[in-house]
Structure 1
């Protein structure tokens, strides 16, 4: 009875990404930054990078169930999303197949058939998505989860959410959660009470799975300085991509040695920091070529202007690098996006 009363009292206090968001919406994306723009529409700020080579084709879907929000991201390319979850945010991440070999959280490979990203006191967000996969994110309020656990005297589970960020479950349980999230994201019901009930059911399933200690292995996690360094490096690349930066100046701005920075990016991405910086700048060029609004805001009109704005001064080198990553020429991207 007490739990029922709590749900009624908490009705207007649960997390909402935006009070003005519809129950559900879905949109394609053809660049990593376009995916980031969809997330920004929900109040989440991320830097996004395409890591694998080829034309990107993806879809982003969103469904709001009042107490929990479900996101679905499908992509044919390997993507990296880097940002902050924000206050009072807790998420449960599930890759649909359970065996994606390039999925990572904070540069660490995720276990097979696992739930990830649920550490309740973690503000930073850094995850990599494998090409040709679909990933679900169930986002809710950390305070809401803690209140539920307090009501049920589940101190051990509360402690587990504080100390761990990944949990391996059985393939059958993984499949049940996948089906639950698939059905939720496809649910076209607009009735408010029904959607509340669906949200409460999803939260209950996740908590029940974690409570089954015999069929789940949780992995302790604490952010290291090197993981934070990689996150800060990517953020710096997007914030200062138009500036002339070299390894020494970047190391100085990040308060680290050249060696530490090189080792950090090589461990995470199997490439040095300047190669990763080039990919970040190519991503920024790609978005500028796709977005007439971005070009207008930066007062840039053509491929040469945009390339030089992001410090690509050799036309041949730039064109080859862009073609190798996106499998189309810069002028082709520009022409296909309304110019």
Structure 2
């Protein structure tokens, strides 16, 4: 769905266990309201669509391990709105989270500068990527971005686009946000971003830590430290999880099985570089809490 919105994102499940979640999109008057809900920690990395300017908040209070470009998330934060950024690197916390995102057409956002008192808002958006809101303003924003109750099927639901837009402008005013923070991309966050991208691009080829470091022009120590800061485990463990996730996607999708020619568990595992059946099956169960055969049979 992210790709249908024009966002070239890679999404990685970080914490182990069955993944349950929901991604919902509503559209009105040049504004997209997106809600991403999951019971596992996720990493979202990739390139933003040039048309949309994102504003994100966490609906729940479970943000202890949230990271934006490697930086911790503070309470009552509005994030992601920097007008100069073209990329996204966000990690959520395990145990359940609900991210709300408002995607505003950039042409519409440009008009904000012409509104009374909004020039400073535009300046803040150009130089910063996070704002710490007052509890009351943050609560108002959450109420306007609330995820509709699940009723077995998602149907379009009108939302108050004008009020939401006005609240975003107010949220970035000096009176509502006590602190704005600039983008502080670090060498470590850049390495993690490149590692994730490399992992998806070369997921069917044999790889070693030395080859990864050579491809990313870094050292084993630097890459390992950077990866552990973001995920709690090393680069090879991350790459293995990405490959397991890709096997899982093939096993759950008849279309992908047809596309890759992988119609059995063994074919899918070997396609993504898993040689040992026992090690693969054990790692798969640890991550998804079911056997790969169970996944395959459920999709038939």
TM (norm. structure 1) is: 0.81
Number of the residue aligned with 2:53: 90
Higher helix share: 1
Number of the residue aligned with 1:53: 16
- 8 Å contact 1:164–1:221 — kept in the other structure? yes
**Structure 2 CA distance for partners of 1:141 and 1:225, relative to 1, 3 Å:** farther
Counterpart mapping for 1:103-118 below 5 A: 103-118=66-81
Number of the residue aligned with 2:233: 271
Choose which of 231, 238, 248 in structure 2 pairs with 1:286: 248
Displacement of 1:234 after TM fit?
0.3
Q: How many Å separate the matches in 1 of 2:84 and 2:51?
A: 8
- Where 2:143 maps in the other structure, the secondary structure is helix
- After superposing the two structures, state which structure 1 stretch, 245-254 or 284-293, moved more: 245-254
- 8 Å contact 1:51–1:78 — kept in the other structure? yes
Q: How many Å separate the matches in 2 of 1:226 and 1:155?
A: 34
- After superposing the two structures, state which structure 1 stretch, 306-315 or 251-260, moved more: 251-260
Number of the residue aligned with 1:160: 124
- After superposing the two structures, state which structure 1 stretch, 40-49 or 232-241, moved more: 40-49
Number of the residue aligned with 1:253: 215
Q: How many Å separate the matches in 2 of 1:277 and 1:183?
A: 32
- Where 2:145 maps in the other structure, the secondary structure is helix
**Structure 2 CA distance for partners of 1:73 and 1:189, relative to 1, 3 Å:** closer
Q: Is there any run of 5+ residues in structure 1 with no aligned partner, and where?
A: 1-37
Number of the residue aligned with 1:312: 274
Choose which of 28, 35, 46 in structure 2 pairs with 1:65: 28
**Structure 2 CA distance for partners of 1:98 and 1:173, relative to 1, 3 Å:** farther
Displacement of 1:153 after TM fit?
5.7
**Structure 2 CA distance for partners of 1:282 and 1:189, relative to 1, 3 Å:** closer
Number of the residue aligned with 1:206: 168
Number of the residue aligned with 1:142: 106
Name the count of aligned residue pairs.
295
For the pair 1:44 / 2:44, whether they are aligned, the reply is: no
CA RMSD of aligned residues (A): 2.1
Choose which of 224, 246, 271 in structure 2 pairs with 1:262: 224
- Where 1:149 maps in the other structure, the secondary structure is helix
Q: How many Å separate the matches in 2 of 1:98 and 1:335?
A: 37
Number of the residue aligned with 1:224: 186
Q: Is there any run of 5+ residues in structure 2 with no aligned partner, and where?
A: none
**Structure 2 CA distance for partners of 1:70 and 1:241, relative to 1, 3 Å:** same
- Where 2:82 maps in the other structure, the secondary structure is coil
